[in-house]
Chains A and B, each alone.
Chain A
Amino acid sequence: MTDPVPPAGVLSGHVLDLDAVVHLIEGKSMYGRAVVRQSSAHGVTLLVPALAVQVLSLGPIQPRLERFLRMSMVVTGALSPGDAVEGGPYAQEIMASLRRHRPSAADALLPDVLVAAHAAVHATRRGWRIITATPYLYEGLDVRLEILP
């Protein structure tokens, strides 16, 4: 699978996790809207993990997701076989964090865990931040976060 995103250092960007994608598509906060506007103005990439695209394609947000993905600075980050292997330990850590913070919901939030692990792989490789509305997922991971309100 070809990753359309240039490697680290070629351009700047941020990685969105599942809640962040929904947050930005729905324009839930003015700060989130400002982030999208400034990303376009500065030509800074917003990377949506491919798993997030798949998960959200199952729900009613899908038509709006398609429009969001048409913006010039929004790109989909592929999940290669290597990424899947690399994301395994992240997924384990994130699931452990989720069980600590929301034990009753942990299993139902498996898509969030997998997308967060995929986001961590992309963010770590490129040295980019993860934009998230659920920072507790990343407890214990060596990733930089930008937290949405």
Chain B
Amino acid sequence: MTKKITISLPDELADEAQASGNASAYIAAALRERRRIQGDLAIMADLWGPSWQDGISDDDSARAARLMTGGAKADAA
């Protein structure tokens, strides 16, 4: 089922949604992605406690981000 709603978006986001060719599907996908990540973050908080992100340094975050984008240096065995 679908429900028709009217929403307002900043110009650049509205342009992006319209350029996709199906603004409704585009926004639905974005909301599902947000829900997916929020679900994962809830599990992380469950595993590691509510303050689990407090000690993550910028260096840790940057190194992990490089790993995800394929930019990490290989530590070959």
Contacts and interface: CB of A to CB of B under 8 A. Distances in A.
A141 B75 CA distance: 12
B57 A145 contact: no
**Secondary structure class of chain A's binding surface, majority of residues:** helix
A129 B77 contact: no
Given A72-B36, A141-B77, A35 B43 contact: no
Interface stretch (B13-21, B23-31, B63-71): B63-71
B55 interface: yes
Interface in B43-77: 43-44, 46-48, 52-53, 55-57, 60-61, 63-65, 67-70, 72, 74-77
A39 B68 contact: yes
Interface residues of B, number: 29
Contacts of B39: 71-72
**Interface magnitude class on chain A:** 35 or more
B60 A30 contact: yes
Interface of A: 12, 14, 25, 27, 30-31, 33-42, 44, 64, 67-68, 70-73, 129, 135-141, 143-147
